[in-house]
Structure 1
Amino acid sequence: MGKEATATFIGHKECYGVQAEDVRREVEKLIASGVTDFINGGMGGFDWMCARVVSDLKKSYPQIRNYLVIPYLTFNIAELKYFDDIIYPEGFEKYHFKAAIPARNRYLVDNAAYALCYVTHGWGGAAQTLKRAQKKGLTIINLGERNDGRANL
């Protein structure tokens, strides 16, 4: 899995303002630009919407892979069927479970070149992860931006 061909997802637990078709359109654009690997945290509504979309797109794009990155070994995986493999990053056993989630979010950003996001406000884990992605220079697509091109950050 090469970083330049990898995209991650960043989003809030609740994602009422985005449709699966919006995600599908953006994922297809990422595939067209050479993305083959998608890494997902599997925690909120946006993550699971993205997992289902990528899984479904594998029918048309058999070269793509969908990975779930877990923060700790007792992580509850609601729908394993959407993923090709599970990644438990090396060294994560040292983290307390509350610290493991931000560490996992850093791992997602640090191992991707693209971030498909649904971030609408500037607080919480999704906002912090988006800020890290911006700082690290990922190509950002934020479906949570207002019509004027800005998120409510």
Structure 2
Amino acid sequence: MDLFTVSFFGHRIVPEFREAEERVESLIHTLLLEKEYVEFLVGRNGDFDQIVSSAVKRQQRRVRDDNSALILVLPYPTAELRDNLENFEAYYDEIELCSAAAGSHPKGAIQIRNRQMVDRSDLVVFCVDHSSGGAYQTLRYAQRKKKETLNLAHFEGYR
């Protein structure tokens, strides 16, 4: 099976929420139709993560749900996960804890997790409109690693 892995990163607050949502929906729709199997790697740290997770679930229902997985990648176990494990397991297809990040300071752990997600991705999707913060740092990392990137804040379309 040809596995295509996509990770998503964005600022905690997305001012153009609806536009970002439309762009994500379009991208996910295209990937579900064109790729044999897609792993969608997401976090749970802000607006963009919420947009992506919801869009993946909607497109799985509308297009197809047999060729993809929505995977929540956490830098460390959280109280929210512990207290709501059943709900998380019902929503996400898989939940991963980044072992390399688990023993780090929380802010550092997120960046370690982000880099591991980038390293395993064929496409890294961003919604980054300013040059500061963790999402911007992850964008720069992906560029240094010569990963295929798409910034939906400056959207030109996928392929």
TM-score (norm 1): 0.84
Matched, 1:38 2:47: no
Letter of the structure 2 residue corresponding to residue 68 of structure 1: L
Matched, 1:67 2:76: no
Listed one character per residue, the Cα deviations across residues 71-100 of structure 1 (whole Å, up to 9, x for unaligned) are 111263587243111011234332232321
RMSD: 2.5
Runs (5+) with no aligned partner, structure 1: 148-153
Residue 116 and residue 75 in structure 1: after superposition, are their counterparts in 2 closer, same or farther (change >3 A)? farther
Matched, 1:26 2:30: no
Runs (5+) with no aligned partner, structure 2: none
**What's the secondary structure of 1:131's corresponding residue?**
helix
Letter of the structure 1 residue corresponding to residue 95 of structure 2: I
Point out the more displaced range, 12-21 or 71-80: 71-80
On the 8 A contact 2:13/2:46 being kept in 1, the answer is yes
Distance across 1 between alignment mates of 2:131 and 2:34: 29
| Identity over aligned pairs, percent | 30
Written as runs of structure 1 = structure 2, the 5 A alignment for 1:7-22 is: 7-19=6-18, 20-22=21-23
**What's the secondary structure of 1:94's corresponding residue?**
coil
Kindly state the Cα deviation for residue 18 of structure 1 after the two structures are TM-superposed: 4.1
Distance across 1 between alignment mates of 2:72 and 2:106: 17
Written as runs of structure 1 = structure 2, the 5 A alignment for 1:60-139 is: 60-62=63-65, 63-74=67-78, 76-77=80-81, 80=88, 81-139=90-148
Distance across 1 between alignment mates of 2:32 and 2:146: 19
Q: How many residues align?
A: 147
**What's the secondary structure of 1:93's corresponding residue?**
coil
Kindly state the Cα deviation for residue 141 of structure 1 after the two structures are TM-superposed: 1.4
Distance across 2 between alignment mates of 1:42 and 1:92: 15
**What's the secondary structure of 1:36's corresponding residue?**
strand
Distance across 2 between alignment mates of 1:127 and 1:57: 27
On the 8 A contact 1:18/1:144 being kept in 2, the answer is no
On the 8 A contact 2:4/2:39 being kept in 1, the answer is yes
